[in-house]
Amino acid sequence: MKKISYIEDFEKWEKGFSFYIPVKVRFCETDMFGHMNNGVAFTYFEEARIEFFKELGFMQEWTHEASETMIVVADLQCNFLKQIFFDENLKVYVKAESIGNSSLDLHYMVKNETGEVCLVGRGAMVQASKKTGKGAPWLEEWKQKLLQ
């Protein structure tokens, strides 16, 4: 496997994932060559990220009208390791890799039915104030949930 800049020890990194969502590649997500369009990876990352945040109880807080904070994407990256085709069943994993004062680095891994890693990715998220748009510190309780 090629070296990925944000993964120091692949085996150790891979073992750190537990949360995933199942995804089936839809026909509309493929390109003229018959494989998954490269932009779709980011949609899968988003779906997994939202479900991960729901599982932790964060999405419910951020989307509540009285909430003073929101989560925004600062950057996203994807490394394509193996082609993915129509109708494949995938597992899209997500985990919190590191947490800053208001930032969060999420990592992603996508495996096919045979357990082969097809995609890996990462993205920086920022919890921000809805009023100012500036970073809002994580609650200690939330940091602990993210690191479980």
- The answer for residues whose C-beta is within 8 angstroms of residue 37's C-beta and 6 or more apart is 29, 30, 31
- The domain spans of the chain are 10-147
Task: Phi first, then psi: give them for residue 100, nearest 5 degrees.
Answer: -105, -160
* Mean pLDDT over each residue of the chain, to the nearest integer: 96
pLDDT in tens, 17-76: 999 999 999 999 999 999 999 999 999 999 999 999 999 999 999 999 999 999 999 999
Q: Are 146 and 99 in contact (CB under 8 A)?
A: yes
- Domain boundaries 10-147, corresponding CATH code: 3.10.129.10
Which residue type sits at 86? Answer: F
